[in-house]
């Protein structure tokens, strides 16, 4: 079921702290509803006499293992063609480069899905590289969080991931083998065609990335 409560405005730069908390809380609750296939009373309007829940809507959600929240947002279907790419030098591997390709950016219902494909270009095909270490610029941080941010520069709004790679989960690549991950966000409030993507404070910002759907 799709939660019926309307979310407060998503925070922009300098937004109200209460609105920020409520917006993030709503989206996390929405993802939980979709993943578990239930509609909490607070979302469905079950406490209002005579009011029925809306019919289910086909909104894609990240795959989960059993009843647990998804630890790694692995892509459930093959990625599309790259619509934007950036090469990040691997500071701790001589001549190594991490290629990050945006292979999907679409809005469905209340969510935006960002699909990123990571490929480590290193000299040895059996050498492992941790994505988080490259994004953090620190070889000793293989299990740092991976949580790209979407920026709407026109309306000065930032969207934080509600499903991402948490701290403590290492995403390792072997040379030349791509790996695709899906990240989820609240859908944009405004009618926009592109966003900027901030992978980390140590990586170049990907600008003017177009939505694919």
> What pLDDT score does 108 carry?
87
At which residue do the structure tokens 């239930």 appear?
A: 38
> What pLDDT score does 37 carry?
41
Number of residues that this document lists for the chain: 213
> Given pLDDT bands bounded at 50, 70 and 90, which one contains residue 208?
very high
Listed by start position, the domains of the chain span: 1-59, 84-210
pLDDT of 200 > 60? The answer is: yes
DSSP for 136-172 reads HT-TT-TT--B--EEEETTTTEEEE-SB-B-TT---E
Tens of pLDDT, residues 164-188:
999 999 999 998 999 999 999 999 9
> What pLDDT score does 79 carry?
87
Q: Both tokens of residue 184?
A: 């989820």
> Given pLDDT bands bounded at 50, 70 and 90, which one contains residue 67?
very low
Tens of pLDDT, residues 104-158:
999 989 999 999 999 999 988 889 999 999 999 999 999 999 999 999 999 999 9
Higher confidence at residue 175 or residue 68? 175
φ/ψ bin of 137: left (φ > 0), alpha (ψ from -120 to 50), beta (otherwise)? left
Average pLDDT, the chain: 77
pLDDT of 26 > 60? The answer is: no
> Given pLDDT bands bounded at 50, 70 and 90, which one contains residue 76?
low
CATH of 84-210, one of 2.60.40.1240, 3.30.360.10, 3.90.1180.10, 3.40.50.150: 2.60.40.1240
């Amino acid at each position: 079921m799709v939660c019926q409560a309307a979310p407060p405005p998503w925070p922009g730069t300098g937004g109200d702290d209460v609105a920020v908390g409520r917006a993030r809380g709503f989206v996390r609750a929405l993802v939980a509803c979709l993943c578990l296939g239930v509609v909490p009373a607070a979302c469905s309007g079950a406490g209002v006499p005579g009011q029925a829940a809306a019919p289910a809507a086909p909104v894609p959600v990240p795959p989960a293992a059993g009843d647990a929240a998804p630890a790694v947002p692995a892509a459930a279907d093959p990625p599309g063609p790259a619509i934007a790419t950036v090469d990040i030098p691997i500071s701790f591997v001589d001549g190594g480069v991490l290629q990050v390709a945006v292979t999907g950016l679409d809005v469905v219902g209340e969510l935006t899905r960002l699909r990123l494909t990571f490929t480590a270009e290193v000299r040895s095909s059996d050498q492992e590289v941790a994505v988080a270490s490259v994004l953090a610029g620190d070889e000793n941080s293989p299990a740092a969080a991976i949580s790209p941010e979407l920026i709407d520069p026109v309306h000065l709004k930032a969207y934080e991931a509600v499903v991402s790679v948490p701290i403590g989960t290492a995403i390792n690549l072997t040379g030349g083998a791509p790996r695709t991950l899906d990240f989820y966000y609240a859908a944009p409030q405004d009618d926009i065609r592109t966003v900027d993507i901030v992978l980390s404070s140590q990586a170049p910002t990907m600008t003017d990335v177009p939505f694919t759907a």
